[in-house]
Chain A
Amino acid sequence: MNLKLIRRTLGIVLLFEAACFCLPLICAFLYHESEWSIFAGCALLCLALGFVLKWNTPKDMGMYSREGFVIVALSWITISLFGAIPFMLTGACKSFFDAFFESASGFTTTGASIFSDVEVLPKSLLFWRSFTHWVGGMGVLVLLVAVFPLSGGSNLFLVKAESTGPAVGKLVPKVRKTAKILYTLYIALTTAEIILLLCGGMNLFESLTAAFGTAGTGGFSVTNSGMAGYSSYIQIVVTVFMILFGIDFSVFYLIIIGKISHAFRSEEVKTYLGLIVAAIVVICFNCRGIYGSFIGGLKDSAFQVAAIITTTGYSTANFDAWPELSKTILVILMFVGACAGSTGGGMKVSRILILLKSIKKECKIAAHPKTVHKIKLSGRMVEHETVRAVNVYFIAYVSIFALSLLIISLDNFDFTTNFTAVASVMNNIGPGLAKVGPLENFSLYSPLSTCVLTVDMLIGRLEVFPILVLLSPYTWKK
């Protein structure tokens, strides 16, 4: 285990966080808020600590799979911990656990909040909260890989451990260039959304925060009513961009370089879009009683389906009041999640496809034991290793889910609340149903449950294994 390299990388991550703190600092100055001193203090703290950790470059810059996992897990824990400081110091959160929950919720792009009234919070803090979504969406280390030589090797292990999906590939041969392309696409799409929102009459602060929330598929809002208070135009723009940010970024890259036929070959994206359309149609039909007609509920159901499947978690309607079928569809979509290689959370459409295809394969083998059947995705053979990893991921996911559910049930809330709360944080969505529904928040949980839910968010965002590897004794044995 290359501890020196891990220390150095954590130093760089802290320096990066110091730079991030400068944005809410500017925001505080613009709104003449006294919180600027807090953000300045946080920035200086991260800067100092970062420099100390980064101080001497280790001779051995070798990074292997396990260093990659450990660095990613520790980096995310570190940024979430330091990101929690402003919530504590501004007095917005009473306890440390609440602040850590809120900060982790931001970076992991969950968007679950413990605040019942966000409108009383300082603008700079709200900005920080939304900005963490944007940073966490595409990944901190992916950004750093694009800018710094983080290790002697190719940094692929870092990008692999942080990126989403069962088999992380590269767009171009160089990891650094791949990371640059991903961030360029990310920035371009975010900017496009900001411009479109500004055109809809939203002010700059709200368009920035809304765009950050959409881009990272986070879901923190700056108003108590979420997205419900905005015009239809704004809601439609947000819906479209949520769906876009849930698509595999390599598809955008293929379209840009002109390989459009390749782009449309992606089975995952087709399934993802198909699922969205099907869910919208069923929910519209199911909710026609509430909205008067089939078409009446189209905007809200489209918004809600997009918000849930991409794991953004914005809301324009109190879907907790919808009929059971619609609610159940939304809960199922929570688990499905967005496409691999997007900023979204959840289990990812490709994993679900691989799992379903494994079932088909098992059935076929049961009928013809000697049959040879390879699982294919987008016309390509899926390696056995990938299938195995997906299966193990699924088991690990379900086990952690069950364990978390068990622990938070100590708080003695009803099953729907607890189940959707865990589903919501593990899939990085935000709202659940019943007591954690779109109009509610997570402040009701005890510190222990808050802690468990915070860890679940990190496990969900990093797709289980980095955190498990960090805790595994094998990793630390010499």
Chain B
Amino acid sequence: MNIIIVGCGKVGCKLAEMLSHEEDINITAIDVQNSVVNDVVANFDVMGVVGSGASIDTLNEAGVKEADVLIAVTDSDELNLMTCLIAKKTGGCQTIARVRKPEYGKEIQLFKEDLGLAMIINPELAAASEMARALRFPSAIQIDTFAKGRVEILKFRVPQGSVLDNLKISELSNKLNCDVLICGIERGEVAHIPDGNFVIQSGDLVSIVAAINKGSQFFKEIGVKTNRVKDCMIVGGSSTSYYLANMLLHRGISVKIIERDEKRCEVLSTLLPKATIINGDGSDKKLLLESGLEYAESFVALTNIDEENIMLSLFARSKMNGKLVTKINRIAYDEVIGTLDLDTIIYPKNITAEYIVRFVRAMRNSLNSNIETMHFILDGKAEALEFKINESSPVSDVPLEKLSLKQNALIACINRGGKIIIPRGQDMITAGDTVIVVTHGKGYNDISDILE
């Protein structure tokens, strides 16, 4: 697979680092700055081309005709879109652009459809959704989404004395009135894809499949402390905090934003009428306490200065018991930061790169196949794949209990045009559905691969 990365900033470098390790991925990096290209070539196993990504000559030199994916992650949204457009027209490759200006938020769908972009990523939005997730399920270790965000696979640890302890999986639906499915259990080094007879023990890492709103219900039922926050204090009024506040408010969580700049406060208050906007210095101890830091259930440090974010979170930790989220922009020193007691740390640049890498991987795996989405789950020991079902598929219109599946393959979820079905034996798959399958097997390209 040939990939062209345009723009070798932090995200471009991170992408080069994450993708260049794979044997069958060839990367060409483009940047206007000579020195930047030299650095990338010296640090990673990639080829470098100096020039503007929006020039046909540069793109041709980088081999756009043979490329499968072009990723435009320069600082300028317009240049990224332009590059993707030209690459699409000359090379016919899939294109991914970073578009971060909130002004373009509404136009993104238009870009995707009319310019034929495969993916548009907004780093601030991506970081905000990650933070919102972290606030929603503070005890979930990993969250992967499928079916365009309608289904999630959530991983959590079964606590001592939980209802799940010593519970046979087949008894789960009788005991709890929850529409979820347990698709994986990690015990020690071993990852199981369990059948009905499997008995859960405390300390297991359990992965469940659930429709987006059913997950929290399940968590409540089994008595996992979800710390579902009711309010959130955000320091810093950047666009990330706008996106985050918007998401939280939609979910009925009250939001308090502390921002230093008066003009920005005014803008935020028009954009987020439901939020409390406080004009003041977030690093002012008195102001924080006055705003109710000690009683806040969650605290998000979102200023533009990493050091300040860390200090704010450490201070908050000393005053409150809620969930902490800290944003770190510069990637270095993550080992050191990891040793601090800071709960969740969000690296927006890594998130952007991870989103793209995940997309590229899924794309590589779905070339000539019907895979829609793919995630590694159970600590990388299994794959969760979302397949599109064709009319001629051998699994369609047969009750699931009549299908003879391979061992260690599980049909975890059916998405019928937005309706999420956690399948039981009598359910049937029909053409046009997408189906999430969890399996230990590798290299599956079609749903028929899971049949014996």
Residues of A within 8 A of B (CB): 65, 153-157, 170, 172-177, 383
Contacts and interface: CB of A to CB of B under 8 A. Distances in A.
A40 to B, nearest CB: 37
Interface residues of B, number: 13
A173 B29 CA distance: 9
B42 interface: yes
B47 to A, nearest CB: 4
Nearest to B44: A154
26 contacts: A153-B43, A153-B45, A154-B20, A154-B43, A154-B44, A155-B45, A156-B41, A156-B42, A156-B45, A157-B42, A170-B41, A170-B47, A172-B26, A172-B47, A173-B2, A173-B27, A173-B28, A173-B45, A173-B46, A173-B47, A174-B26, A174-B45, A175-B45, A176-B45, A177-B26, A383-B34
Contacts of A170: 41, 47
A173 B34 contact: no
A157 B44 CA distance: 11
Contacts of B26: 172-174, 177
A157 to B, nearest CB: 8
A355 B42 CA distance: 26
Nearest to B16: A173
Contacts of A65: 42
Nearest first, the 5 closest Cβ-Cβ pairs linking A and B are A154-B45, A173-B26, A173-B47, A173-B46, A173-B27
B44 to A, nearest CB: 6
Contacts of B43: 153-154
A380 to B, nearest CB: 9
B416 to A, nearest CB: 42
A155 B41 CA distance: 11
A376 to B, nearest CB: 14
Contacts of B27: 173
Nearest to B23: A174
Nearest to A160: B42
A457 to B, nearest CB: 29
Nearest to B61: A262
A383 B43 CA distance: 19
Contacts of A153: 43, 45
Contacts of A156: 41-42, 45
A154 B45 CA distance: 5
Contacts of A154: 20, 43-45
Interface in B5-40: 20, 26-28, 34
B34 to A, nearest CB: 6
A219 B20 CA distance: 40
A177 B47 CA distance: 12
A106 B174 CA distance: 81
B339 to A, nearest CB: 20
A378 to B, nearest CB: 13
A170 B28 CA distance: 11
Contacts of B34: 383
Contacts of B2: 173
Contacts of B47: 170, 172-173
A169 to B, nearest CB: 8
Interface centre among A157, A170, A176 (most CB of B within 10 A): A170
Nearest to B47: A173
B216 to A, nearest CB: 43
A170 B43 CA distance: 14
Interface centre among B2, B20, B45, B47 (most CB of A within 10 A): B45
A153 B16 CA distance: 13
A301 B248 CA distance: 84
B264 to A, nearest CB: 43
A105 B2 CA distance: 42
A12 B278 CA distance: 65
A167 B27 CA distance: 20
Contacts of A155: 45
Contacts of A175: 45
A174 B3 CA distance: 12
Contacts of A383: 34
A319 B264 CA distance: 84
B18 to A, nearest CB: 14
A175 B27 CA distance: 11
A104 B47 CA distance: 33
B4 to A, nearest CB: 10
Nearest to A172: B26
Nearest to B34: A383
Nearest to A384: B34
A457 B361 CA distance: 49
Interface centre among A153, A154, A155, A177 (most CB of B within 10 A): A154
Contacts of B45: 153-156, 173-176
Nearest to A383: B34
Contacts of A176: 45
Nearest to B46: A173
B288 to A, nearest CB: 42
Contacts of A157: 42
A72 to B, nearest CB: 16
Contacts of A174: 26, 45
A177 B46 CA distance: 11
Contacts of B44: 154
A175 to B, nearest CB: 6
Contacts of B28: 173
A260 to B, nearest CB: 15
